[in-house]
Structure 1
Amino acid sequence: MTSDTKLDRTNWPIAAAMIQYPGTLPDGRSTQDQSAEEWSATLADVSDAGFTELDPTDGWLRIADLEPSRLNEFLGVVADHGLTIPAVSTARKNLVDPAHGEAHLAYGHRLLDTAAGIGAKAVSFGFFGPLNEAQKKALWFWTVQGERNPDDAGTWNLAVERVRDLGRHAADLGLEISLEMYEDTLIGTADGAVRLVTDVDLPNVKINADLGNLIRLHRPVEHWQTMMEKVAPFAGYWHVKNYTRIEDETTGAVMTAPAPLEFGLINYRTALRMALAHGFRSALLVEHYGGDGLSVSATNRDYLRRILPRPETHA
């Protein structure tokens, strides 16, 4: 896809997420050490589900840490399955982590170089860290309190500095950076996300408007449409997923559960049109937790194909 490619429902890049596939195998090995045949067995699932794009997602495979020969081997497997990689996401590599933030920043620069080298157009970063032990034991990890970013000027300024550093590098490579909204981080609200990208002030630094990360919380949250109105002008590479949400106004109880994209709380027909009105033309990533998440993601992809612009009304 070139910068002047006209996108519509027939060719919009919609990538499969790899969140169903862990980075550590049952035998203790890392996916980094798998053979090409083993990678192929996994990607066969993705292509069999009808996908033509995937995001390897570094929770599954850290492509930036593969030796050149191994990266070429992986890319060969990707091509063999008729897949392309429009964008790459980082997961739980908090750019302002007090202990590991500098290492995550260095890794981010390696990933930008790798992404550009394989023809990807965007990289997603965030400020959320690894799951704690209680979250790992929970049925749904978001029902347990996770890591919180410090709320101070020093942390904010460090985030702006590091994202700007990555953003300038990305611009030199012709890449977009997208910052993933996530609870209790510096961009855990729409206002925080808009403020951060505004402070960074680079045209290629966008917001990954993953509102599903917020509406699934068992606590009060801003209405999804209000959040989308705020972030739509800044929308970039976008992780999309949905949840049902029940709020009991009498007791204050909130319950949520994953749902296919078209059946959850967020009306993605409306959300997508809001982003398109502001010139959104980045790749989409479909996710789903629980059950056969890959197959639900495939239904999410098909839903998006129905609601993206028709060929005669190019974005």
Structure 2
Amino acid sequence: MIQSAQDWPIGAALLQFPSVTEDGEPVQDAPSSTWSAVLGEVAAEGFDHVDLTDSWLRPGDLPPERLDELARVLKSHGLGVSAVSVTRRSVIDPDPAVAEQNLAYLHRSVEAAARLGATVVCAGLHRPLTEAQKRAVWFWHEPGGSDPEDDEHTWALAVERLRGAGEHAARHGMRLSLEMYEDTYLGTPESAVRLVEEIGLPDVGINPDLGNLVRLHRPVPHWEELLRPVLPHVNYWHVKNYHRDFDPRTGAYFTVPAPLEGGAIDYRKALAMALRAGFDGPICTEHYGGDGLGVSARNRDYLRRILAHKLPSVHADRGER
């Protein structure tokens, strides 16, 4: 059932909120009043959903009583959970012990997401930022970790572990969405589609986070070439945009964050393509730099305007009212 423009779940990412308070206390261990202060800001910007991005707070590492506290805080601000996003916790990390820990954490995150009433768990294969990335003005200026090419054992391990997480999510009535990210097995549309097809579960799909690829300081395909092949598998969507330029004299690329309507990706066209392909999942608005939450709210309103214009024709094409 296609939602209306106004009730389509569009959540705010929490990328701009640090995992440590100004007093040096981990947000994970902070009183619920600390969580409320952040989530209250999200609600004040007009959001009714939030993507619980685990760079701020890790639901998968909260005991049941604290998860219930979090649920109460969310309810007090009128916020639903569009998704729980597990970031930089690859289940095929080169260190087998770390990979096992990440796998266990992903399964705990599925349980936490179910307890919080989420419909999606989003995961990827990208790894923690390197020291060079942490020092860079923008972390994507420096290369990060990469998955081994032509390594069928590691590929098969990714399929097996993500299939298990997908089955776990499905038992709770949730989807697992795999985030596209450079230099991983989710780094190209062809590889992402192959991975999802080999996992072979209807509730495991792709999060086509095009911004992760468009921002790279190297040649990348046009955004339509990145999106079109994955459209049949899209079940969740992190949206963000970047200005992108290239100097042919020096060979230098230049990218900086942009609002959705101002960057290299035409989200009016991209969203129309996704809707025609049957996309009906939640959306998460992201933005790095400045007032990321404020820009995310502007991006949400932009998306709702597009949905209000595009959805009637999608309904009509499908014979729905």
Q: TM-score w.r.t. structure 1 length? A: 0.95
What is the percentage of aligned positions where both structures have the same residue? 52
Q: Report the counterpart of residue 181 of structure 2 in structure 1.
A: 182
Kept after mapping to 2: 8 A contact 1:8/1:314: no
What residue number does 1:292 align with? 291
Aligned-residue offset at 1:284: 0.2
Structure 1 residue 24 displacement after superposition: 2.4
| Map 1:126-165 → 2, pairs under 5 A | 126-151=124-149, 152-165=151-164
- Structure 1 residue 248, shift from structure 2 partner: 2.4
Quote the residue 2:86 is aligned against. Answer: 90
Secondary structure of 2:248's aligned partner: coil
- In the alignment, does 2:117 pair up with 1:119? yes
Partner of 1:195: 194
The one-letter code matched in structure 2 to 1:304 is L
Supply the AA of the counterpart residue of 1:12.
W
Aligned counterpart, 2:107: 109
CA deviations over 1:193-214 (Å, ceiling 9, x no partner): 1111111111111111001000
Structure 1: tracts of 5 or more residues without a match: none
1:276 alignment partner in structure 2: 275
2:250 corresponds in structure 1 to: 251
Take 1:52 and 1:171, find their aligned partners in 2: how far apart are those partners? 24
Question: How far apart in 1 are the matches of 2:82 and 2:264?
Answer: 27
User: Out of 74, 77, 81, which is 1:78 matched to?
Assistant: 74
Q: Distance in 1 between matches of 2:292 and 2:147?
A: 29
Alignment match, 1:56: 52
2: distance between equivalents of 1:215 and 1:209? 11
Maintained 8 Å contact 2:47/2:79:
yes
SS in 2 for 1:199: helix
Distance 2:20 2:196 in 1: 34
Distance 1:212 1:12, change over 3 A: same
Cα shift readout 1:243-264 (whole Å, capped 9, x = no counterpart) = 0100223432211110000110
Q: Deviations over 1:48-102 (max 9, x none)?
A: 1111110111111111211212111111111111111121101111111132111
Separation (CA, whole Å) in 2 of partners of 1:127 and 1:52: 29
Q: Is the 8 A contact 1:17 1:57 kept in 2?
A: yes
Give distance in 2, aligned partners of 1:306 and 1:67. Answer: 40
Residue by residue, what CA displacement relative to the aligned partner does 1:219-257 show, whole Å, maximum 9, x if unpaired? 001111111111111111110000010022343221111
CA distance in 2, matches of 1:93, 1:307: 34
Q: Is the 8 A contact 1:179 1:206 kept in 2?
A: yes
Residue 312 of structure 1 deviates from its aligned partner by 4.5
| Partners of 2:189 and 2:246 in 1: CA distance | 21
SS of alignment partner, residue 245 of structure 1:
strand
Counterpart position of 2:5: 9
1:180 counterpart letter in structure 2: E
Q: Which amino acid aligns with 1:130?
A: P
The root-mean-square deviation of aligned C-alpha atoms, in Å, is 1.4
Following the alignment from structure 1 to structure 2, what is the Cα–Cα distance between the partners of residues 22 and 91? 14
AA paired with 1:92? R
**CA deviation digits over 1:80-133, x for unaligned, max 9?**
111111211011111111321111111111111221222111110100111111
User: Quick one: distance in 1 between partners of 2:133 and 2:50?
Assistant: 27
CA distance in 2, matches of 1:119, 1:300: 24
SS at match of 2:160: helix
How many residue pairs were aligned?
311
Provide the residue aligned with 1:66 in structure 2: 62
In the alignment, residue 104 of structure 1 is paired with which amino acid? N
Q: Distance in 2 between matches of 1:109 and 1:121?
A: 15
Which SS does the other structure have where 1:56 is aligned? strand
| Worse-superposed segment, 120-129 or 24-33 | 24-33
How far apart in 2 are the matches of 1:134 and 1:193? Answer: 27
Larger mean CA deviation between 67-76 and 289-298 belongs to: 67-76
- d(CA) in 2 for partners of 1:314 and 1:38? 42
Matched, 1:302 2:286: no
Code of the residue aligned with 1:214 in structure 2: it is L
- Which secondary structure state, in structure 1, belongs to the residue aligned with residue 145 of structure 2? coil
